[in-house]
Chain A
Amino acid sequence: MVVRLQQAAFDFGAEANTFAAGRRDAGAIVTFTGITRDLNRGGLDRMEIEHYPGMTERALQAIESEARARWALADCLIIHRFGTMAPGDPIMMVATAARHRAEAFAAAEFLMDYLKSRAPFWKKEVTATGESWVESQDTDEAALKRW
């Protein structure tokens, strides 16, 4: 059960291998990695992610605890970055390990839905022509209602 908030980039392949290493108690491991995307067709210079030191750590811990309370997870990992990301850089990842795939998938989706709109991060896209804050979507909030 690990929650990491960090500025540094991470290697999601290495993280997934570490998460899976030596595990015999889970038949299913699900991982999700969020990547800095360039929807401006090459125009994105960078993405800046602001966070709320203190509250962000608390929110990540609370979301992880809630996932473990709802599903019988053998293990759970959340990594989320802040600071400056280049296009293609990993932003965050979650991994869940459970006896069966249904729990592992559901818990990973739950973690993603909550990280999206209940963890205090704000993304700003910077292009050659200016910068703009990424706006939340109504679908993000709606996604929470299914849990």
Chain B
Amino acid sequence: MIDVLYFAWVRERIGLPKERVETDAATVADLVEELKAREERYAAAFADLSSLRVAVDQDLTEFDAPLDGAREVAFFPPMTGG
């Protein structure tokens, strides 16, 4: 089980901030493919990965990053702090 978090327009498009996902996905990209296959709202949110960023266990990483042992994966648009 892994906690999957969504922020900003990704959260709005998918319709929830967080969910627990049962998955054997080896990488972030594999997890994305599983989510996209679920429902249209996921497919829409993940349609263009270049407009998304991902963090695994609260560290920014890339979509090809491995998920082994990860407890938390978060998807969000590029950050706009400051």
Q: Within the assembled complex, what's the spacing in Å between the Cα atoms of A120 and B52?
A: 13
With beta carbons under 8 angstroms apart, the residue of A54, A121, A135 that contacts B58 is A54
User: Using Cβ atoms and an 8 Å threshold, which residues of chain A touch B69?
Assistant: none
Residues of B in contact, count (CB < 8 Å) = 15
Set of chain B residues within 8 Å of A115, measured between Cβ atoms: 81-82
Question: Would you call B8 and A58 a contact (CB within 8 A)?
Answer: no
B:31-82 near A, CB below 8 Å? 55, 58, 60, 74, 76-82
Residues of A within 8 A of B77 (CB): 122, 133, 135-136
A34 nearest in chain B by CB position: B82
Known: A50-B7, A52-B74, A55-B55. A121 touches B80 (CB 8 A): yes
Residues on B with C-beta less than 8 A from A140 are 78
Answer whether residue A101 sits at the interface, using C-beta atoms and an 8 A cutoff.
no
A120 nearest in chain B by CB position? B79
A116 interface residue (CB < 8 Å to B)? yes
Q: Given A55-B55, A55-B74, A120-B55: A136 and B5 within 8 A (CB)? A: no
Is A50 a contact of B8 with CB atoms below 8 Å?
A: yes
A117 & B60 in contact (Cβ 8 Å cutoff) = no
**Does A124 have its Cβ within 8 Å of any Cβ on chain B?**
yes
For the complex formed, measure the closest distance between the CB of B66 and the CB atoms of chain A, giving whole angstroms.
Answer: 19
Q: Which residues of A contact B80 (CB under 8 A)?
A: 116-117, 121-123, 133-136
Query: Which positions in B face A, CB cutoff 8 Å?
Result: 5, 7-9, 55, 58, 60, 74, 76-82
Chain A residues at the B interface, C-beta cutoff of 8 Å: 34, 50, 52, 54-55, 58, 80, 91-92, 112, 115-124, 133-136, 140-141
Pick 6 A–B contacts, CB within 8 A, sort by A: A52-B5, A80-B81, A115-B82, A118-B60, A122-B79, A136-B79
